[in-house]
Structure 1
Amino acid sequence: MRKSVIILIVLAAVILASIYFFQTTDSLKSEDILEEQTMDSSVTDDEEQEEVSDSEIAATSVTSESGAPVGLQSLNEQQLKKWISEESRSMNSTGLNTEEIQLRLKAQAQTLTTEQLKALVKVTRESSMPANERVLAAYMLSLNTSANSLEAMFEVSAQPITDHGPSIPHSEAELRNAQELALRYMQVDELAQRAKTNPNAKDKLKLLSQKAESQQVRSYAERLLKELR
């Protein structure tokens, strides 16, 4: 799958999510609490030294004065999730340059640590989270080129698919089931692409064809393996 196409998937997920998904009251309350906490100026000096401020999180969405994308490696798990949330919301803006976004995200993905990759895997597993956030998390995993990203992509692809009910045409269940598969196919596609030159990626793809919880994912991985032979 071409990266430009995946960017469009991310953008489409934002639009689809706004149409088909509604935040529950509890979720809204949680967001309000989080915002109040981040705006609270009563944190201690020690906490201020340990935590990255909201302005620093926002700075990761832009480039530095030298023109280089600001890295994500300083963000802890909660801050990384907030960055994912804010970044995915920003994609709902009009007049976006998808090529520039792709280049920036690719550069930022290279700064992700092993622990952050694990955190992104967790985001993709949370079926209750907004679809656009899960898609962006999966996309960032596919952009990271470290050896650890192979295991992260395998974990996303191999995980069982949440059953959202019968896929009645044009229903919310059909959309959500399709999104669950799309998240996994994105990772399988990237593993297949890397498998052309990376034996470890090919091993992961082969393992997916045998061990993935979803029959559809197993079949898809097997088909891509055959194309490599």
Structure 2
Amino acid sequence: MNVEAVLTALLASALIAAVPLTLAAVGEAIGERAGVLNLGLEGILLLAGFAAFWTALRSGQVILGLLAGLLLGAVVGAAFGWCVVRAQADQVVLGLALTLVGAGLSGFLYREAFGSEQPLLGETLGRPLAGTLEIVPVVGPAIFDQKWIVYVTWLIVGLAAALLHRTRFGREVRAVGEAPFAADAVGVSIVRVRLLAATLTGTLTGLGGAALAVAELGLFRPGMTVGLGFVAVAITMLG
């Protein structure tokens, strides 16, 4: 057994597998900083995963699939935010309902579209840095022979950190989450900030679900997230 090859494969697999979890956790972190807890990430991941897979399979363009998942996540996130912020719905109950609806609806749509078949996507995304630093054992091939969605995810993590800590919107998000009455007193619109934060949560989670289906697995199966959304929420709470 080639130990180096095994370690390289394990690290490379871990990096691509972390993409949907990372995106969902970053999105949830933004929402929670604004005081919006979304326990429906699991449902968004599944709905976006199906939308991305169906779009990519029908169009032959994986990038369109990613875009479809992202847009669906944004719409669902905005709707969730409106229900919580405007309609004053209980965010815990609504989030759990979203998880149940997302799981059931994505499974129903999959069976309606494909029946008992299991269609697969081929090689889905390019590897822009393939062959770079292969001389470095394990780490070189594992990091640089990745699909570009991995590098986009790392970039999003950095941009999200900068958004929260280096921009006016980020300061408003933290103010609304930590001291909403004080934020309102100085003219910050709590409704606007929380709606935007909830939309960002849905957008990033939708991209994560799309990446899981069309970039990591190349397929969609009902319930394939197996609790990934709840893991993302737990990571955010612990972090």
Question: TM-score scaled to structure 2, two decimals?
Answer: 0.23
Larger RCO (alpha carbons 8 Å, 6+ apart): 2
Question: TM-score scaled to structure 1, two decimals?
Answer: 0.24
